[in-house]
Amino acid sequence: MKHILMVVMASIIILLGSCGPKEQYYYVTYTILNKSDHKIELLIIKDNTVNDTIILANYDSDTVIEARQEGFVSDPPPFLSASVRVTYDDSISVFHYRTVEQDVARSILIRESWTGGSTGDQDYKWEYLFTNDDYEEAVLLQ
C-alpha cells in the first residue's frame, strides 16, 4: 500500500509540474534596406542622446537585427527612440518621429511604415525599405 501511495504522489507531483505556464519564445528579424541611389545614415536618438548609428552605404545594402523575444512579439521598429535623424549622402537630413503628425510620409518609428509579420508559428519578419522617393521627400523638406 505504501508503494502505491508513493507512486500516486510522485505522479501527481510530476503532473502538477508539467501543467505550469510555458514560456513562449518568438524569433523576430527586422531588416532595414536601402533601395535608393544614396548613402543613408540613421542616428537613433533617445533622451537627446545618439544611442546608435546605422549606415546603409549604397544601393541594396541593409541592416538585419535579429531578436529572440519571450512572451510576446514586439512590433517594429526594433529600437526604442523618440526620433531618428536620416541623412542622405552626408548632406540632406530629415527627422522621423514616433507620431503620425510629422513632415515625412513614412516614419521608420511607426509600425505601419514596415511590411511583414508572421512567417510561421514563432517566426516574424519585418522590413523597412528606403527608396528614391524617400530621398526626394527629404530634399523637398529642406
* pLDDT tens-digit series, residues 103-117: 999 999 999 999 999
Instruction: State residue 86 phi and psi, 5-degree precision.
Output: -105, 120
Residue pLDDT, tens place only, 57-75: 988 888 998 888 887 777 8
Which set of grid coordinates corresponds to residue 51?
Answer: 544611442
Q: In the prediction, which pLDDT does 39 show? A: 97
pTM beyond 0.95: no
Report the C-alpha gap between 114 and 109 in whole angstroms. Answer: 9
CA 122 from centre of chain: 15
Alpha-carbon Rg of the chain, whole angstroms?
23
- pLDDT reported for residue 74: 79
β-partners of residue 84 are 44, 96
Average pLDDT, the chain: 86
Q: How far is CA 96 from CA 7, 25, 29, 77, 81, in A?
A: 63, 30, 21, 12, 10
Whose cell is 541594396? That residue is 60
Rounded to 5 degrees, what angle do the CA atoms 133, 142, 40 make? 50
Summarised one tens digit per residue, pLDDT across range 35-61 is 999 999 999 999 999 999 999 998 888
Q: Are 114 and 128 in contact (CB under 8 A)?
A: yes
Is pLDDT at 5 greater than 90 in this prediction? no
CA–CA gap between residue 124 and residue 30 (Å, rounded): 9
Within 10 angstroms of residue 65's Cβ, the number of other Cβ atoms is 15
